[in-house]
């Protein structure tokens, strides 16, 4: 059926956006799916969009709760015997205050979901991959983790942390043939970024979205899912510890305001 025929994949953040697109892409290539998100209705919508023959397990939960994460992994292994692929996509954006006005509670919440949640999934999935001598983990970071201007302080710090975690986890797990990589999306239209798009459209400025990228456009969730599934597949068998920008060239230049026409 495809590159993931009968492989077991856990996809977090699967209720919408990049997570949903990744789940659909994996399913189209034969994967068995455990779909995870806090939004139960969104999970049901994703499940309903899957091919009828796709085996699936839906789990509505908070990924920053280690007890729930441990139980999730145990459920998947008990049901299917293994985990071949982990796609850590769950995340939140938060607000954009300047650092002198940052709320500590919001900062901690963003780190708990975006960074600690990613770490917990890796912590509990990786031993099952190590025992089989193979596995692939793909984390969703952001161009905000590479340079400023693409997110608030807390969000950017959390995504920079995901990039660093990707590198250190790749070093921890490489000897057991478990690969860990990340994608760093640029401006993509998803539920999380919808306010940006709604604001621009309400002022007839949609054409300016993505104008500072080298491709002069914003991206879509399917384009990120394509990169995630590539890194998760055996086509990327000699790639680990990398953070791949999928951003229309946004991080390829200085990208200062007014520099591009």
Q: Which residues are catalytic?
A: 155
Residue closest to 182 by CA, chosen among 261, 236, 106: 236
The two structure tokens encoding residue 173: 């797990």
In 3-state terms, what secondary structure has residue 213?
Answer: coil
The CA-atom distances, in angstroms, between 164 and each of 1, 157, 171 are 34, 11, 11
Q: Which residue has the tokens 């002198």?
A: 100
Strand pairing class (8-12; 178-185) = unpaired
Eight-class DSSP state of 112:
I
> Which residue in this structure is represented by tokens 């919508």?
45
Residue tagged 């806090």 (tokens): 38
What angle, rounded to 10 degrees, do the helices at 221-232 and 17-28 form?
Answer: 50
Query: What are the tokens at 117?
Result: 């949640």
Biggest CA–CA distance in the chain, Å, is 56
What's the rounded Cα separation, in Å, for the pair 209 and 189?
A: 10
């Amino acid at each position: 059926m495809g590159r993931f025929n009968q492989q077991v994949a856990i996809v977090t953040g699967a209720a919408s956006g990049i997570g949903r697109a990744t789940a659909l892409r994996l399913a189209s290539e034969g994967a068995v799916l455990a779909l995870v998100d806090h939004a139960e209705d969104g999970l049901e919508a994703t499940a309903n969009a899957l091919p009828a023959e796709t085996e699936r397990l839906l789990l509505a939960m908070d990924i920053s709760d280690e007890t729930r994460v441990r139980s999730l992994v145990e459920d998947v292994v008990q049901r299917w015997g293994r985990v071949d692929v982990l796609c850590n996509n769950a995340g939140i954006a938060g607000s954009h205050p300047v650092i002198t006005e940052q709320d500590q509670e919001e900062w901690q919440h963003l780190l708990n979901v975006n960074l600690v949640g990613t770490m917990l999934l890796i912590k509990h999935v990786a031993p099952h991959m190590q025992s089989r001598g193979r596995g692939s983990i793909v984390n969703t970071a952001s161009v905000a983790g590479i340079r400023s201007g693409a997110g608030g302080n807390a969000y950017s710090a959390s995504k920079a942390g995901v990039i660093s975690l990707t590198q250190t986890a790749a070093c921890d797990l490489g000897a057991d043939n478990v690969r860990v990589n990340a994608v760093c999306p640029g401006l993509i239209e998803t539920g999380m970024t919808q306010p940006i798009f709604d604001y621009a459209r309400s002022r007839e400025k949609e054409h300016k979205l993505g104008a500072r990228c080298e491709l002069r456009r914003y991206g879509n969730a399917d384009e990120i899912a394509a990169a995630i599934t590539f890194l998760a597949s055996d086509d990327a068998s000699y790639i680990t510890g990398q953070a791949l920008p999928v951003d229309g060239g946004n991080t390829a230049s200085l990208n200062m305001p007014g520099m591009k026409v």
